[in-house]
Homo-oligomer: A and B are copies of this chain.
Amino acid sequence: MSSPGSRTTVIALLADRGYRLTAPRRQILDVLLASGTPLSAAGIHRRLENRRINLASVYRTIWVLLGLEALRATDAIGGEKRFELADPLGAHHHHLICQDCGRIEDLEGCPLEERVLRAVNRRVRRSRRFRIVEHELRLIGACADCDGAGRRTRARRRP
Contacts and interface: CB of A to CB of B under 8 A. Distances in A.
Contact of A124 (B83, B112, B139): B139
Contacts of A124: 96, 107, 139
A136 B137 contact: yes
A111 interface: yes
Given A75-B77, A129-B144, A130-B147, 11 more contacts: A62-B159, A73-B159, A78-B81, A96-B130, A105-B130, A111-B120, A129-B147, A130-B141, A132-B139, A134-B141, A136-B137
Interface of A: 62, 66, 73, 75, 77-81, 83, 96, 98-99, 105, 107, 111-113, 116-117, 119-120, 124, 128-144, 147-148, 159
